[in-house]
């Protein structure tokens, strides 16, 4: 099951790069790609449902996270980034494609509660459940799949990233 899900996410990424998939959830072809073949360089500032910390880039692979329906977003985080506790209105699955991502759950950032997930690791983000995370000495690439509409709410609004920061 884990391999099938990972292959579906990678397939969606390649289709988007070749223009074969439709952002609104149109027909999707079959293909296979490795994480090294995926390129994510667009700013995440306009992508709904991600943390918006500086050093993030994102690409919507399928669907539209602002609308009702299935979506997948490929998210790249630079090394040494911290995501403070936040939640989303929709439930999501996250698959680590490259690097090690450290994830924890709760209303306050607690480094002792972080669990490192290597490539192939999967975790869920249940709707309205606060979670937090960080990258360490390497960038991380994850695929987020949910059923929108999505959004992001910080547990402590003062910890939300400021535009351009």
CATH number of the domain that residue 133 is part of: 2.60.120.10
Token pair in block for residue 148: 């929108």
CA distance 160 to 53: 8
For tokens 């998939």, what's the residue? Answer: 21
Is residue 85 assigned to a domain?
Answer: yes
**Average pLDDT per run of 10 along the chain, which is 165 residues long?**
44 42 58 76 83 88 92 94 97 97 98 97 98 97 96 96 70
- Does the residue 100 lie in any domain? yes
Q: What total number of domains does the chain contain?
A: 1
Contact 90, 127 (CB under 8 A): yes
pLDDT of 15: 41
pLDDT of residue 130: 98
- Does some domain include residue 95? yes
Determine, yes or no, domain membership for 66. Answer: yes
Structural domain of 116: 39-159
pLDDT at 42: 81
pLDDT tens digit sequence for 27-37: 766 767 787 78
Q: Which residue has 């360490």 as its token pair?
A: 136
At residue 14, the pLDDT reads 42
What letter does residue 55 receive in the DSSP assignment?
T
d(C-alpha 73, C-alpha 17), whole Å: 13
SS3 137: coil
Q: Would residue 49 count as lying in a domain?
A: yes
Evaluate whether residue 9 is within a structural domain. no
Please check whether residue 153 lies inside any domain of the structure: yes
Give long-range contacts, CB 8 A cutoff, 24+ apart: 42-48: 44/75, 45/163, 47/73, 47/75, 48/148, 48/149, 48/150, 48/151, 48/152
Q: Is residue 105 part of a domain?
A: yes
- Tens of pLDDT, residue by residue over 57-76, are 998 888 899 999 999 999 99
């Amino acid at each position: 099951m884990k391999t099938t899900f990972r292959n579906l996410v990678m397939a969606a990424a390649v289709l988007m790069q070749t223009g074969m998939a439709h952002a609104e959830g149109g027909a999707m072809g079959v293909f296979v790609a490795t994480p090294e073949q995926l390129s994510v360089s667009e700013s995440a500032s306009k992508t709904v449902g991600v943390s918006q910390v500086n050093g993030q880039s994102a690409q919507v692979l399928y669907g539209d996270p602002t609308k009702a329906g299935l979506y997948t977003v490929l998210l790249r985080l630079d090394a040494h980034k911290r995501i403070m506790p936040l939640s989303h209105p929709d439930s999501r699955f996250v698959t680590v494609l490259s690097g090690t991502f450290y994830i924890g759950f709760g209303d306050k950032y607690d480094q002792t509660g972080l669990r490192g997930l290597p490539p192939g690791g999967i975790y869920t983000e249940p709707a309205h459940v606060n979670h937090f995370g960080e990258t360490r000495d390497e960038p991380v690439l994850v695929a987020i799949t949910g059923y929108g509409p999505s959004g992001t709410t910080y547990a402590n609004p003062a910890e939300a990233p400021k535009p351009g920061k």
